[in-house]
Chains A and B, each alone.
Chain A
Amino acid sequence: MSSAAPVVVPVTPQIEAPLPVRDAIARLNCAYGHIIDNDELERWPALFTADACYQILTRTDFDAGRPLGVWYCDNRAMLEDRVSSIREVNVYEPQIYRHVIGATEILGHEKDTWRTQTGYFVVRTMHDGEMMLFSAGRYLDDVIVENAGENMQARFRKRMVITDSSRYDTLLVIPL
């Protein structure tokens, strides 16, 4: 390569995704954060397909190829059981989350299923006003985007929440 030649910097391959698809995925991620933060957990399972997998695991375990996390649901009924447990069973001090969700990168797709990753952080506010940066990490998702009437509709076929820290404060009762 001569010194005059332009340097070609390799970049992440651009995945062509139609704007309506990108828009549907963005709306899904947006709704996901607000449903949790606004304490509308009963609506949360509907963001997933019936056979969806939802998992929370540490970045260290993910990088090591270890399968197990603090939270592992392999169908939507398990998500509904989680919501029931949060509402009726588990004992914890009142607390709310605030999700800040970053821009989504589309990593690839196969037919209707789009593989994406999205950074996030969650601030947790306790009933007495104490706040902490509770979790930061990324979502690694398989999102199904289908025609639903005039709009495209997106739902999670798989959401893997990969937490940067392997340490969780007190307890993790509300989904990240």
Chain B
Amino acid sequence: MQAVGTRPLKELVQWPAEGYTRVPLNVFTDPGIYQWEQDLIFRGRTWSFLGLEVEIPNPGDYITNRVGDTPVIVVRKADGSVNALVNRCIHKGSIICHQPKGTRERAHNFVCPYHNWIYDFDGNLKTIAFEKGIQDKGGMPADFDKSQHRLIRLRVETIKGLIFGTFADDTPPLREYLGPVMVEHLERTLYGKMKILGRYSQMMHNNWKLYIENSRDNYHPSLLHAFFSTFKLNRLSAEGGTRQDDKSWHHITFTKRYTDKGDAAYDSGMIRAQKEDYGLKDPSLIDQWMEYPDQITNAIQSIFPGFVLHQILNSLGTRQIITHGPKDCELVWTLLGFEEDTPEQTAVRIKQANLVGPAGLVSMEDGAIGGFVQKGIAGDLDGVAILEMGGRGVGGMPTRATETSVRGFWKVYRELMDV
């Protein structure tokens, strides 16, 4: 399944000799490159986030989602396992499930609304309406073999309630793909029984990769997002750094807000922000409890290609990038808590939702900054971006003044796209 009719990638992308410290700007605008990415990245040897297990608790429960541009159905089977199928009838190509979520009784399975072709939860074509015709007239040819036609099925694996899928047979198993550093951080962040507190999405008028770069760029936050510094929430002595897996596919940036406060701040109770310390009229916005033994108060984890898990104080959430052509993308936010949370802890998570999302006091600029770049590079077909903050290499670093994980993204991108 290659990008049929598209010019060869080598003609579309001429990567500068400097390597991944430079990015040719046409990768953010070219429709042909975008088509190749659908094949080689989203339907290639990568794992994409498909949804949360808590969304489909019972057999027959399904959700619909997208992997890049490709529509998928994610369904819970009778044996409790999860399947993912391309949501496209093999007859005419109509989507089969047009609801965002639902439950299918076993007898019905998935029925295409157009001509009632019916598939089971494994994607097998079970029946075709009027297969034998009506009153011996019409119908499918006698030699049409239903078993030769089926929905495309993804490989599925789950980790801590997160469902991932891949189209490629040769993608390494999920935990191997993530690497131990990423697995440990996912398991650490999602320690409880997951509960969805809210969901919304944000349309961004930029290429999807500009957002993913942003999620891996820990050089920008203190510069673009002035909320923390203006209201004196930044403590200069706060410890932080950047972590990656061995191959630089994925990224974690973290900070420890109370590094300078000694051990007294780390008991399990609420840490109340003091009004005199900050510029906020109501500093309860940033009251938090020390949720994690590692004393990390802020962590962004970005999994190649399009998944982000955030912990900002006690706000936890997943973000999934959905492509909308070369110049637009959508970020789907799901804010999380745990069933074990106390009412007071849930209230803290709700209040700290003010920090994230399209109205996030800290992060709203991320919805606009990619659009600023997209506008800025318009018309410049030969330009390049420069990525040399923190050196010219990849790998984890004990600092946030670095673009090492942005370079890591392009390293992997070039490997997958072979450019």
Contacts and interface: CB of A to CB of B under 8 A. Distances in A.
A85 B346 CA distance: 25
B351 A70 contact: no
A72 B354 contact: yes
A170 interface: yes
Quick one: which of A66, A78, A82, A168 has the most chain B CB within 10 A?
A168
Interface stretch (B20-28, B181-189, B223-231, B398-406): B223-231
A18 interface: no
Interface string A149-173: 0000000000000000011111111
Interface in B234-279: 279
Contact of B203 (A56, A70, A92, A167): A167
Interface residues of B, number: 39
B335 A68 contact: yes
B198 A85 contact: no
Contacts of B319: none
A57 interface: yes
Interface residues of A, number: 36
B368 interface: yes
B90 interface: no
A3 interface: no
A39 interface: no
B202 A171 contact: yes
B358 A170 contact: yes
B364 interface: yes
A85 B359 contact: no
A159 B237 CA distance: 40
A69 interface: yes
A75 interface: yes
Given A72-B353, A75-B282, A173 B199 contact: no
Interface in B184-242: 196-205, 224, 226-227, 230-231
Interface of B: 196-205, 224, 226-227, 230-231, 279-282, 285, 330, 335, 346, 349-351, 353-354, 357-361, 364-365, 367-369, 371
